[in-house]
Amino acid sequence: MKIVKEAMSWAGSIGVSFVLVLFIGIFVFQPYKVDGHSMDPTLQDKERIYISKLVHTFAQELEYGDIVVIDSRVDRPRTFKDSLMEQPVIQMIAGSVNERTFYVKRVIGKAGDVLEFKDHQVYRNGQALEEPYIKETMEFVSDHKWTVPEGHVFVMGDNRNASEDSRKIGFIPLDHVMGVKKLP
């Protein structure tokens, strides 16, 4: 009987720990690994970062220049099931493969901003951005003006010439911003 009681105590502790790990990973913070060179020189390929998910949990306002992890599947709504199934612990138990859907990018435009790409620079609301963090002069130019819709952001990588970002995948719904990494 004592062994059964001890086993039940351990099972309860493990169960509570499991739920706590899931709660923290879904709502508070989560590790991600940078995959690729789109954020060079700020973040390196394979670098592990930790993001605060409080922005996502409490729908907090993002700031220009915030480094964010986004769900690039902007063509579909996100659900709680997505957040649950994307947790590393659940993926490990389910034996699922983590597909490449999360990108690390920088917030360049917020709702209502008009963005232009001319003279190899980014212009927000008619003003050229000072971006000391970019790797090199951007090759991309366009005659198109991009107006960020309500409830969305426009993101770009710091390595503008090697980044799959809002120029290609479009505006990012705020519920697709998984979290933010604040730099010191």
- Give the C-alpha separation, 45 to 123, whole Å: 28
What 3-state class would DSSP assign to 131?
coil
Q: How far is the CA of 30 from the CAs of 3, 13, 52, in angstroms?
A: 36, 22, 7
Q: Which of these is catalytic: 38, 83, 163, 166?
A: 38
- Give the C-alpha separation, 183 to 180, whole Å: 9
Residue 38 annotated to the active site: yes
Q: Which of these is catalytic: 53, 105, 135, 163?
A: 105
At a CB cut-off of 8 Å and minimum separation 6, what does 19 contact? none
Sign (positive/negative) of CA torsion 148, 64, 48, 40?
A: positive
Residue 105 annotated to the active site: yes
Burial 30-64 (b: 16+ CB within 10 A, else e): bebebebbbbbebbeeeeebebebebbeeeeebee
Q: Would you please indicate which residues are annotated as catalytic (active-site) residues?
A: 38, 105
